[in-house]
Amino acid sequence: MNITVKFFATFRRGREKIVNIEVERGSTVKEVLDIVKIEVDEIAILLVNGRDGTIAQLLNDGDTLSLFPPVGGG
């Protein structure tokens, strides 16, 4: 299945802003993170289709993951 991963702030260093990856059906967020080489503890905000996501969450075909490192408020 196809998953879109969007990177923000410092996660864009050395990466594209957005990538599409093929993963096996039944993959979790964690498995996608391993592929894009982002450690769980680097992430401050993790959204799946714009909603709060979890590491163990099962993904569906066409899902979008948005990943943010610690960022500012204000």
Closest approach, Cβ 12 to other proteins, in A, equals: 6
Told to check if 68 binds other proteins by CB under 8 A, we report: yes
| Torsion 15-19-27-29 (CA) sign | positive
Per-residue x/- mask for other proteins, residues 4 to 43, rule CB under 8 A? --x-xxx-x----x--------------------------
Told to check if 54 binds other proteins by CB under 8 A, we report: no
Angle made by CA atoms 24, 48, 45, in degrees to the nearest 5: 120
Amino acid at 74: G
